[in-house]
Amino acid sequence: MDKVGNNMVTVTCGTKFHSDYTAFQLQQHNLLEKVITAHPSKKYLNRVSIEKKRAKFLAPIFVPAYLLSRIFSGSNFMVKWLDNNMPILFDLLAAKNVKRSKIILAYAWSALESIKTVKKNGGIALVEECGSCNKYQNEILDEEYRKLGLTFKSPTPDFIVKRQLTEAELADYLLCPSNHVIGSFVENGIDRAKCILIPYGVNKDIFKAYHLHKDEFTIICVGTIGVRKGQYYLFEALQQLAQRIAVKCILIGKVEDQFIAYYNQYKHLFTHYDYIPHQELVNYYNKASVFVLPSLDEGLALVQLEAMACGLPIISTPNAGADAIIDDRKEGYIVPIKDASAIANRIEMLYNDHILLKKMSENAICKSEKFSWDNYGEKLADFINSL
């Protein structure tokens, strides 16, 4: 039974991420005190219906960075400075609004002062860790950029790395979407007992299977095309497959500037779309045969859940959060990071075995039912009530 009173939660998130879904689910379980955000109000409330009295909109301090990124790029000095520092300003503003909160659910990088304020008043602080520990992330990506002969130009600054770990140490619990995220924090000294695994959900109203007849075997990969997402290893896998079988590959996402040389080297192997509106992705998933995401580092890539809901077997890595949502050889395959041959072999197995492909497709649809936002809300509410 849902409770009310001392376990009411204040959600603080500078921009959006999935905090609107989180706040809505808490509201559904009578656990939402309020949500505090600097995201523009109309944009924040366009996916779910949160009671206006429960929403506190601060000045839209993240808008300048967004507008500048449209003019220049994410690598622009001013854009990077704003991206790194606006979460800290938001935290200072949010902390003034959580003094009476019994429980806060804040998002990493923008939680330190809010945590201190709530704990000073005897409350409980939860931190949502959407991605891996930034210290871990810097290390694995720096190694990969060097391996590819590139320069890692945008590591997370040291002051944010330290801030995130301080938040993690002070928080009562970390909400983590995957075992990969948990492992990255444990490796850096955070107590495993305070890490709570709650995978995210998928919008089932948008993403669903059409059960189309597919004339050709098509691989699809959605996300930024670059080092972190591991597309180099997908390219290598496609190169290997080109010598054995005829497959089609579709990539959707912007190309990282530094990765363009590799992109150009392999672009004869795939069709690329720089951008597809989010709600239209369902059509591309449904026309594909298998979804591949060879990421080196993620929190939990939601595109995997979207693809599963559309009936696609998943070939992905533990570092993309795959082991939190699929069972290896049931809804797809979990492959090691940086292993092009493993990716190629799993694709070829599905290409050659139509019965296996159909079975994994059915399993993916069935498994995706466990990852609705309502199920996420149930797990989150159970945890909040256990406090």
The percentage of the chain sitting over the pLDDT mark of 70, rounded to a whole number, equals: 98
On whether both 265 and 167 belong to a single domain, the answer is no
Q: What is the pLDDT of residue 385?
A: 96
On whether both 188 and 222 belong to a single domain, the answer is no
Taking a C-beta distance cutoff of 8 angstroms, is the pair 179, 323 a contact?
yes
Range of the structural domain that residue 282 is part of: 218-370
On whether both 51 and 161 belong to a single domain, the answer is yes
Taking a C-beta distance cutoff of 8 angstroms, is the pair 32, 23 a contact?
yes
Q: What is the pLDDT of residue 5?
A: 54
Q: Domain count of the chain?
A: 2
Query: Would you say residue 209 lies in a domain?
Result: no
On whether both 189 and 251 belong to a single domain, the answer is no
Query: Would you say residue 212 lies in a domain?
Result: no
Name the average pLDDT for the chain: 95
Query: Would you say residue 69 lies in a domain?
Result: yes
Query: Would you say residue 281 lies in a domain?
Result: yes
CA-CA-CA-CA dihedral for 45, 174, 321, 133, to nearest 10: 110
Q: What is the pLDDT of residue 187?
A: 97
Kindly state the DSSP code that residue 9 receives in the 8-state scheme: E
On whether both 269 and 137 belong to a single domain, the answer is no
On whether both 131 and 79 belong to a single domain, the answer is yes
> Between β-strands 103-107 and 9-13, what pairing exists: parallel, antiparallel or unpaired?
parallel
Quick: pLDDT tens for 156-206: 999 999 999 999 999 999 999 999 999 999 999 999 999 999 999 999 999
DSSP per residue over 88-114, as a string?
HHHHHHHHTT-TT-SEEEEETTS-HHH
- Residues 6 or more apart from 57 whose CB is under 8 A from it? 37, 38, 39, 40, 41, 44
Question: pTM of the prediction?
Answer: 0.94
Q: What is the pLDDT of residue 275?
A: 96
The percentage of the chain sitting over the pLDDT mark of 90, rounded to a whole number, equals: 91
Quick: pLDDT tens for 341-378: 999 999 999 999 999 999 999 999 999 999 999 999 99
Query: Would you say residue 2 lies in a domain?
Result: no
d(CA 72, CA 89): 23
Q: What is the pLDDT of residue 113?
A: 98
Q: What is the pLDDT of residue 313?
A: 98
Quick: pLDDT tens for 114-127: 999 999 999 999 99
On whether both 184 and 108 belong to a single domain, the answer is yes
On the question of pLDDT at 11 being above 60, the answer is yes
Annotate 317-363 with three-state secondary structure.
Answer: CHHHCHHHCCCECCCEEECCCCCHHHHHHHHHHHHHCHHHHHHHHHH
Average pLDDT over residues 285-290: 98
Query: Would you say residue 3 lies in a domain?
Result: no
On whether both 173 and 242 belong to a single domain, the answer is no
On whether both 99 and 113 belong to a single domain, the answer is yes
Average pLDDT over residues 203-210: 95
Taking a C-beta distance cutoff of 8 angstroms, is the pair 125, 166 a contact?
no
Q: What is the pLDDT of residue 77?
A: 83
On whether both 365 and 376 belong to a single domain, the answer is no
Q: Residue 39 class from Cβ within 10 Å (0-12 exposed, 13-18 middle, 19+ buried)?
A: buried
Query: Would you say residue 208 lies in a domain?
Result: no
On the question of pLDDT at 79 being above 90, the answer is no
On the question of pLDDT at 1 being above 50, the answer is no
DSSP per residue over 299-311, as a string?
S--HHHHHHHHTT
On whether both 147 and 233 belong to a single domain, the answer is no
Query: Would you say residue 151 lies in a domain?
Result: yes
On whether both 226 and 266 belong to a single domain, the answer is yes
Q: What is the pLDDT of residue 50?
A: 95
Quick: pLDDT tens for 358-367: 999 999 999 9
When pLDDT is cut at 50, 70 and 90, the band that residue 74 belongs to is low
What CATH number does the domain containing 235 carry? 3.40.50.2000
When pLDDT is cut at 50, 70 and 90, the band that residue 2 belongs to is very low
Q: What is the pLDDT of residue 70?
A: 80
Q: Which residue has the tokens 């400075």?
A: 81
Q: What is the pLDDT of residue 138?
A: 98
